[in-house]
Amino acid sequence: MSALIAWGLALLSVGAAGAAEVLLPPATPLTVADEQVAEVFYRQVVAAALQTGLSVEDADSIRTWALADAEGCFDNPDCPALLWSRTEARLAMIVRVGKGSSGLLVETRWVDVSGEVRRVARETVPYGKEASYAGRLALMLQEVQAGMPAAPGSAVTGLAGAGPGPAGTPAGSGTEPVPAPRVVIQPAEPVVPAAPPAGEGAKKPAEPPPNRYRLPKVVYDSMVAAVQAGKSEQQWMVENRVRSGRLTLQISGGMGFGDVSRGYLVDAQLKAKASDQDAEVLAGQASWEGATSGVGFSGFVAIGYSPLWYLDLSMSFGMLYGQKHLTVTTTDTACSGCEPEVAAYDPQAGVQALIEPRLRLLPLATGVAKPYLLAGLDVRIYDGFDVPDDGLGYRNAPGGMGLAPSFGGGLYIDALPDVSFFIEVPYTMVVPAAGVSRTDPEVPTAPAAMEHMGGFVRALAGLEVRL
């Protein structure tokens, strides 16, 4: 007997399912972690649909007669087909919801009793705007229902309360139910429905974003297509490794070859004191100072910015670690036939500070690997030479600053959305390439220049973080 009673109650519940015109099955979460956010958004959609005056059957009611057939409806190809035999409703709105990086990912389908998908929508809803979009979905539902043909034998036009009775009034009831007056309640947030293109049920494409970074046409068209499909402009740019509009921090190091060291040559002439034939004084000095060949370490840190896809601007601060070479040649003018004495001192560590404004030109806007050309201006700051003179008063070489152009090429490997690796080979000229010579009248000829190239090459590898 109890089984018969339960069976009868089930039949009654199935019969009661026909009271609404629209089914709103429970929202399908995109992942297991999205169940709560999907439920919250679904309740906002139901509330907005009721506020617009629609006659809907929500998840709580559907579960009483559809049981598990109503769960996961968006991902189930047999849903809502499994529900039509147990309800008089002729339209269902099915929603899938998940959390994205910049907002709520909402996908919606409107399916009628014949199985036709009458409209689809896909939107990334900024966090905090969920209620506004729920109201927009309710208005879309109203538009879709209004465009459906009336059920056979019914005067219903598709809107709740628009005819003498709701679609699907059970036959044999003997009475025509009096529709409740339609009450439209303004949603809490203003809602502007998207008008579909003429003759279609698809959502109006999003307005194309401006080409603010002057992307090539084929790249810009790809971005526009992605944005109109529901992806944000920033998300597309990160996924395709477009460098525009990013602030960067870089650190790199490598080896320098060429004129990374400095030399100082002194040619001094001595003469005897007038009052003491055993003592000597400096009669005159000639010298040469400049860059000289060697191998050294170079490293720098830099901050940069990419105003356009093909242009990187940066300012780097670094150092060039080479050596300092000092040679002093003395000639005793009081000693006829005496050979000059040459003192070549052991090389000392020589560190030069580098300040380098640079620009890089990139031929590719997207992709992981991006070759580039670079150009810049190198400012080298170096210290001087102190000559051991034993009281003779040799002239020391002062420190100074050199300014020279640099150019070369490199390769970015944009391996991650915010992290890159790079290798580059810049060549920097040395100005003046021949160094600087100074002479006194008593020493008319300065020493010949040390071996040098007129510039230096660096092979660098580094890491970049994009902010």
Q: What is the pLDDT of residues 337-396, one digit of tens each?
A: 788 888 889 999 999 999 999 999 999 999 999 999 999 999 999 998 989 877 788 888
Nearest to 87 by CA among 167, 149, 158, 145: 167
Cβ(25)–Cβ(92) below 8 Å: yes
Cα–Cα dist 447/55, whole Å:
102
Cα–Cα dist 369/410, whole Å:
11
Cβ(358)–Cβ(372) below 8 Å: no
Cα–Cα dist 403/380, whole Å:
6
Cβ(58)–Cβ(70) below 8 Å: no
Q: Which amino acid appears at position 12 of this protein?
A: L
Cβ(250)–Cβ(463) below 8 Å: yes
CA distance readout (Å), 16 to 61, 64, 88, 406 = 10, 10, 9, 82
Cβ(165)–Cβ(179) below 8 Å: yes
Cβ(161)–Cβ(142) below 8 Å: no
Cβ(377)–Cβ(357) below 8 Å: yes
Nearest to 84 by CA among 103, 66, 108, 61: 66
Confidence at residue 151, expressed as pLDDT on a 0 to 100 scale:
55
Confidence at residue 206, expressed as pLDDT on a 0 to 100 scale:
59
Partners of 341 in the β-ladder: 330
Dihedral (C-alpha) 208, 210, 215, 219: value to the nearest 10 degrees? Answer: 0
At residue 9, φ and ψ (nearest 5 deg) are -65, -40
pLDDT beneath 50, residues of the chain: 1-18, 153-196, 198-202
Cα–Cα dist 164/71, whole Å:
33
Cα–Cα dist 241/102, whole Å:
18
Structure tokens at 59: 């998840």
Structure tokens at 302: 């830099």
Relative to beta strand 400-413, strand 348-361 is: unpaired
Confidence at residue 273, expressed as pLDDT on a 0 to 100 scale:
73
3-state secondary structure 263-299: EEEEEEEEEECCCCCCCEEEEEEEEEEEEEEEEEEEE
Identify the burial level of 431 via C-beta atoms within 10 angstroms of its C-beta, where 0-12 means exposed, 13-18 middle and 19 or more buried.
middle
Alpha helices in 118-212 (DSSP H): 130-146
Confidence at residue 52, expressed as pLDDT on a 0 to 100 scale:
83
